[in-house]
Amino acid sequence: MRADGSVRSEPADRPEQTRARYPDETGVIERDGVRVAWERYGDGSPTILLMPTWSIIHSRLWKQQIPDLARRHRVIAFDGRGNGRSARPPTAEAYAEAEFAADALAVMDATSTERAVVITLSMGAQRGLLLASDHADRVAGMVFIGPSLALQPRAPDREAVNEFLEPPVSDEGWAKYNAHSWRRDYRGFLEFFFSQCFSEAHSTKPIEDAVGWGLETDPETLILTELAPGIGDRDAILARCARVTCPVLVIHGGDDRITPHARGEALARATRGRLVTIEGGGHIPNARDPVKVNLAIRDFVGRLERLERLGRSS
């Protein structure tokens, strides 16, 4: 018997860890020749769409949400272009935020998903906000975890230490956030970056997982994502927030070193949403504090369902 309780050893060539829950259905959509792989778990209503975040990792980032949510909901996840089982197109334009949002719509269409509760992490907030503001009829509710939206400045140490494409001034700390540094020591960047994402004690496992997912793509792809068109400046973001009509939940770590807690506060204000703070939490609380995050999502979806029932009965 092995320590995880299993008695069967996996074939050595299998790159993926054992999953607590396997998909009930998988598929691929294709837009402009770019293939994007999706998975469906469970059948319950409402459907929950798990958005991809920055392509530095892929849909396994939701590994601790899927088994819980799929007990009650139809859950759809997909690998963002640039990582996982999705394609790695060779141009920066292919990684525009609008493309990720269009992929999400295409996945919803391919799975006959009229509406969904959309859950995002970090950069996923940008494509999620595009979806919720341009296609309000498709979004029943939005959950933003550690939203990376430029509503507030970044922490001082995260402001550009050097130009992304210029040779870096050093190779320490955030100076690693640089194309040359990524090409020279990609793993070194991943280890640094995820050590900052997981600032909580006892995070060796989520760091190891995330570095492993990061190594499933490559620095050239990640450089393209960095150069891709975003969703505009603060005013453009606020204008989109004003067009969000669905209920919003923001979950933000109190010690988020990637995107400050103030951004989550600002987003909750701008969308008239509710803010749940994970005290002492880092940037990816769904991986580091999955029980707290899952319970907050459960509570939010439960209130959505009660609201919908009220709406129908009035």
Say how far apart CA 227 and CA 229 lie, in whole Å.
7
Quick check: 12 binds another protein (CB under 8 A)? no
DSSP conformation class of 175: G
Quick check: 202 binds another protein (CB under 8 A)? yes
Minimum separation from the CB atom of position 208 to another protein (A): 7
Whole-Å CA distances, 172 to 65, 184, 199, 218, 222? 34, 13, 17, 21, 19
Nearer to another protein, 201 or 310 (CB): 201
Nearer to another protein, 4 or 233 (CB): 4
Quick check: 90 binds another protein (CB under 8 A)? no
Quick check: 310 binds another protein (CB under 8 A)? no
CB atoms within 10 A of CB 164: 16
Tokens of 43: 């059948």
Quick check: 208 binds another protein (CB under 8 A)? yes
Quick check: 17 binds another protein (CB under 8 A)? no
Minimum separation from the CB atom of position 236 to another protein (A): 42
Say how far apart CA 297 and CA 269 lie, in whole Å.
19
Quick check: 71 binds another protein (CB under 8 A)? no
Say how far apart CA 206 and CA 93 lie, in whole Å.
31
84 touches 216 (CB < 8 A): yes
Minimum separation from the CB atom of position 2 to another protein (A): 5
Nearer to another protein, 208 or 220 (CB): 208
Minimum separation from the CB atom of position 284 to another protein (A): 16
Minimum separation from the CB atom of position 17 to another protein (A): 13
Tell me the window of 2-10, 24-32, 58-66, 272-280 that interacts with another protein (CB under 8 A): 2-10
Quick check: 18 binds another protein (CB under 8 A)? no
Say how far apart CA 282 and CA 197 lie, in whole Å.
6
| Residue 275: partners with Cβ closer than 8 Å, 6 or more residues away | 250, 251, 252, 264, 265, 268
What value does the CA radius of gyration of the chain take, rounded to a whole number of Å? 19
Tokens of 52: 């991809």
Minimum separation from the CB atom of position 10 to another protein (A): 13
Quick check: 11 binds another protein (CB under 8 A)? no
291: left (phi over 0), alpha (psi -120 to 50) or beta: alpha
Quick check: 3 binds another protein (CB under 8 A)? yes
Quick check: 93 binds another protein (CB under 8 A)? no
List of E strands, 184-255: 248-253
Minimum separation from the CB atom of position 4 to another protein (A): 7
- Residues within the interface to another protein (CB under 8 A): 1-5, 201-202, 204-205, 208
